[in-house]
Chain A
């Protein structure tokens, strides 16, 4: 049954019918009618951000930590264009978002009106889908469809552009149950013949590896449980991309750690030397593959992905299975049990012996210090002191992000929020606020670098206003650490523009925002500082002064294959500046 109401009320009504409890947004002229409706209700909480980019990253943090879509409300023109980085970030990391933007009234579209921008044009390549709604009668149906598209298949951000006259006009509201199921229904179940083939490969494999990605997390907690079940049933080693950390518990006996450019030696060597690679919800990103021509040369590659365009995009695979990771794993495990399958135990034992040899290299070792805080040490202490908490971690982008991925351990999915595909500096602080809003009682820590953190530091105001007790753990090297590292590797140690001069005093900055801060530079005081941060009842900025020129290792230099990693102990022995040759230098 349809009811008549204004477009603005429809927005709030539709969000409520979709089970939305939180909207991140910023008002402006073209969304005033919607804000007026928000004012007149109490079911949906509105988090007022300080910049629209922050709103989108908060919604990403909310979405990734809850599994529910994040919702954003921004005004026309600059409100929408400020959201573009966040939309692109969510597209590359497959995060479900519904972004509502105001637009100038329909009769003004195309006149270069005040705060007019071609929002659907600008956001077309950075959304999964978008709409300009020109009739109020179509608005509620469009919003319901938007939620369906954002959350089904490979998740992603969608945007609905709503002209102001459409918000004021009255029309018929339809609820989600009255919207006909759309044509967009991506295949979830993998091809059964292919699943059977995969089980046969698992039975025969001598040197297998499970290569898991963000798709396992996106599929839901059940997929993580099934992955653990498969790893336990087969004894196959598990490695994961940056986006997939937590899908398999870090304490699990099959865990190899993260793979890729800054992944662990044993993970990358296992990828290189395996004879069966089972890719579950990962996409052979260039941070993972290194030199394509030499990527895992001797392996049969099976690839489970819900997005057909991920198959054969970068790496040719032998056994593609288009479907949801959770559904496919269910089918694999069912067949595994019904066939009474067994692995090739003797070969697998040999394979593990080889892997244990690689593990013995202890690739994460670093030179310790009593006088200066090593960033790796800071993260080891953070891990030790927060391990037993109900903990969520977000990060910015750079060296600290890779160290966090190496040194922090995740026992379950949805606990790790980071900008993987787009590599957006400024992601972590707003994302931590979004996570905290969704989990008010949890310990939410943003592991940050000084440069990244400054990019969206205005969102500390949001954290303070909404009493989100986020912990900002800044590894401050007064550098753009990863840029500096690449300049050392590639550009003759000419550190062009990669240091941060005139950094603010982070402790005073915390006070200025109305929260607490502390600076720590003595390794002996680190634990006490971390404890103070955890125990403080409110947002906290911990400014950890760390070694300035520490390199993030191990590393696959660009243009090199997995078995040519640069390890920490080699750094001292050889000229690190010669690690990358000219053909690798053009790569990012």
Chain B
């Protein structure tokens, strides 16, 4: 290596300040992207991910400021630290993007997802489904004599676990919103 020796933290964007830049292990990051709510803005963001070969684990979008026409896109993505840095830079330079915040780095943050689970069954299985739903604090939002629709809110892992529990009990359909996330504290 060169004897020029650049000290750590030499600049605010130095590669030295990144977590191990050569790490090959993929990390999961939650990005909050504030955008102008204009036609095609979601297509721009999604097109960037598909065009450059990045992963999307989950994506949610809704307008958060009607007067200012701003939407918040929450993207859960996966990649090596170098890829995550590149994703943030690429998303950040899309013209209608106001800001890109990496909640995984800026955290701690809360992540919540809403899921609707339809479970079909009778007898013991039906009773068991209702009991487990109670443990998970799921709400019954629709019921027939042979089925329930449960509504559950929580971290994605909680919804995954709930799905695993319900599968042998007759889980036949589910819908999930994807992750919404905010940094904790002020």
Contact = CB atoms under 8 A, between A and B. Distances in A.
Interface of A: 120-121, 124-125, 128-130, 132, 149, 153-154, 183-184, 191, 193-194, 197, 201, 204-206, 275-276, 298-300, 307-309, 311-313, 316-322
Given A275-B2, A308-B92, A318 B85 contact: no
B39 interface: yes
A191 B44 CA distance: 29
Contact of A322 (B4, B13, B16, B98): B13
Contacts, number: 88
A309 B12 CA distance: 15
Interface in B3-46: 3-4, 6, 10-16, 21, 39-40, 43-44
Nearest to B7: A197
Nearest to B92: A308
B93 interface: yes
A124 to B, nearest CB: 6
Contacts of B15: 312, 316-318, 320
B4 A275 contact: yes
B95 A300 contact: no
Contact of A194 (B2, B10, B85): B10
B10 A197 contact: yes
Given A129-B95, A191-B12, A300-B6, 13 more contacts: A120-B39, A128-B95, A132-B39, A149-B95, A197-B6, A299-B2, A307-B93, A308-B89, A309-B86, A312-B15, A316-B21, A319-B10, A319-B11
Given A193-B11, A197-B11, A308 B47 contact: no
Category for how many chain B residues contact A: 20 to 34
A206 B3 CA distance: 9
Contacts of A197: 6, 10-11
B98 to A, nearest CB: 7
Most chain A beta-carbon contacts within 10 A, residue among B6, B39, B82, B92 = B6
19 contacts: A120-B39, A121-B43, A124-B44, A154-B93, A191-B12, A197-B6, A197-B11, A201-B6, A204-B4, A205-B4, A206-B3, A275-B3, A307-B93, A309-B93, A311-B13, A313-B86, A316-B21, A319-B10, A322-B13
B109 interface: no
Nearest to B86: A313
A132 B39 CA distance: 8
Most chain A beta-carbon contacts within 10 A, residue among B4, B15, B82, B96 = B4
Given A120-B40, A308-B89, A318-B6, A194 B95 contact: no
B105 interface: no
Contacts of A130: 40
B95 A312 contact: no
Interface of B: 1-4, 6, 10-16, 21, 39-40, 43-44, 47, 51, 82, 85-86, 89-90, 92-93, 95-96, 98
Contacts of B98: 183
Nearest to B85: A312
B112 to A, nearest CB: 29
B6 A194 contact: no
A317 B96 CA distance: 28
A313 B4 CA distance: 23
Contacts of B13: 191, 194, 308, 311, 320, 322
Given A121-B43, A191-B12, A313-B86, A201 B95 contact: no
A201 B12 contact: no
A335 to B, nearest CB: 15
Contact of B43 (A124, A204, A275): A124
A316 B47 CA distance: 25
Contacts of B16: 318
Nearest to B51: A125
B14 A125 contact: no
A293 to B, nearest CB: 11
Contacts of B14: 318-320
Given A300-B6, A319-B6, A312 B11 contact: no
A149 B94 CA distance: 11
B89 A311 contact: yes
Most chain A beta-carbon contacts within 10 A, residue among B10, B14, B21 = B10
Given A124-B44, A197-B11, A317-B15, A309 B89 contact: yes
Given A132-B39, A318-B16, A319-B10, A184 B95 contact: yes
A308 B4 contact: no
Contacts of B6: 197, 201, 300, 318-319
Nearest to B95: A129
Contacts of B2: 275-276, 298-300
A312 B47 contact: no
A124 B11 contact: no
B79 to A, nearest CB: 13
Nearest to A132: B39
Nearest to A318: B6
Nearest to B50: A125
Contacts of B82: 312, 316
Contacts of B11: 191, 193-194, 197, 319-321
A300 B89 CA distance: 22
Contacts of B95: 128-129, 149, 184
